[in-house]
Amino acid sequence: MSTLLLLVITGLGLGALYFLVASGLSLIYGLMGVLNFAHGSFLTISAFLGWEVGRRVSDGTWAGLALSALVGMLVGAVVAAATEYLLIRRLYERHIEQALVTVGLALASVALFEGIWGTDPIYTQKPEWLGETTEILGAKIPNDRFLLIACALLVLGGIVLFLQRTRYGLIIRAGVENRSMVTALGIDVRRSFTIVFAIGGAAAGLGGVLASVYYGYVSAHLGSVLLIFAFIVTVIGGLGSLTGAAIASVLVAVLQQFANYYLGGTGDLVVVIALAAVLLVRPRGLMGKAA
């Protein structure tokens, strides 16, 4: 029982991380049809800059971590918005080229990060409490899992509120539904592209700082590892669906933890098989709209 609980909560923690990356991917794809390969780089740069600022102010304290998270979100938002404005916008409506540009950006940026921060992982400090465990029903659960889950829930709530309660949220939801109609009504849908990129970038940036807490290090390849799983989550959840991404990230992460524990470390393989199965049975994903 305690093992089961530990696996589930660890899975939820990992799922929180996947969700932070996948939410942006899914929104961007839903609105613009762009498969953003550079999303992992948004995460990595935020993790690095967040860590750089955090360690200069106060290393391993809550204040330092909060500052890192803020910096991470800001960096992620700015970098993502700049990417959209400078690169993606020029290739409006040419989806393959847009994806190709993000591929190039991902390759170039990872190489740049390696050049600046080296190829080896850099170990980070975190507040003492996060390194300890809490006992729930006999299961010793690392405390950082709770932080991850709380942050992901906050982000999910924030994005849902933004989409449901604000004017821009309305335009974005309408744009996902039918972009040409929104344009026909005289609304400049392009501004919401930049906003969606900024939101996705901010979520990924927060994910970057939290990933450095979860893994205990930052490295140039932090983003690319998470990105593959985020892609899988996005596709299983249904491209363009935020709820789908949330459900799928939990499912995928928990499944991965269970397979790793009970099936001898085959978590990655099981996830891949799950993706193939979902796509063959239900090509549009769990919550995706009918193609």
Partner 1 sequence: MNQQRTDAAAPVDAPTRDTTTGPTPPPAASARRPLLLLAGGVALVVLLAILPLLAIDIPGVLPGPTYTPGTLQLLAYAMLIAALALSYRMMFGLAGLLSFGHALFFAAGAYGLGMTLYAFAPVAWPSELIFLGSIAVTLVVGIVLAATVGSLALRVTGISFAMVTLAFAQAGSVLIRRNPGGATGGDEGLSLDIEHVPDALVGVVNTRNLYWLALGVLVFVYLVVLWVERSRAGHVAEAVRENELRVRVIGLRPYTVKLLIFIVASVLAAVAGMGYLLLQSGASPRIATADFTLTLLVIVVLGGVGYRWGAIVGGIVYTLLDQRLTALAGSDFIAGLPAVLRVPLSEPLFILGTLFILVVLFLPGGIAGIPQRIRTGRKQHPVETEEAADA
Per CB under 8 A, 232 contacts partner 1: yes
Nearest to 16 by CA among 276, 277, 206, 236: 206
Alpha-carbon span 191 to 14, nearest angstrom: 32
In angstroms, give the least distance from the CB of 233 to partner 1: 11
Beta bridge partners, 135, equal 140
Query: Is 110 or 130 the residue whose CB approaches partner 1 more closely?
Result: 110
What does DSSP say about strands 133-136 and 139-142: parallel, antiparallel, or unpaired?
antiparallel
Judged by CB under 8 A, which stretch of 7-15, 84-92, 128-136, 197-205 contacts partner 1? 84-92
The reply to whether 111 sits near partner 1 by the rule CB under 8 A is yes
Stretch that binds partner 1, among 1-9, 162-170, 209-217, 262-270 (CB under 8 A): 262-270
Pick 1 or 280: Cβ nearer partner 1: 280
Stretch that binds partner 1, among 10-18, 167-175, 231-239, 241-249 (CB under 8 A): 231-239
- Residue 33 as a binder of partner 1 (CB under 8 A): the answer is yes
What is the distance between the alpha carbons of residues 238 and 95, in angstroms, rounded to a whole number? 18
Angstrom distance (rounded) from CA 170 to CA 147? 30
Coil vs helix vs strand at 127? coil
Nearest to 19 by CA among 186, 160, 183, 169: 160
Q: Which residues lie near partner 1 (CB under 8 A)?
A: 29, 33, 35, 37, 87, 90-91, 94-97, 99-101, 103-112, 114-116, 224, 228, 231-232, 235, 239, 265, 268-269, 272-273, 275-276, 279-280, 283, 291
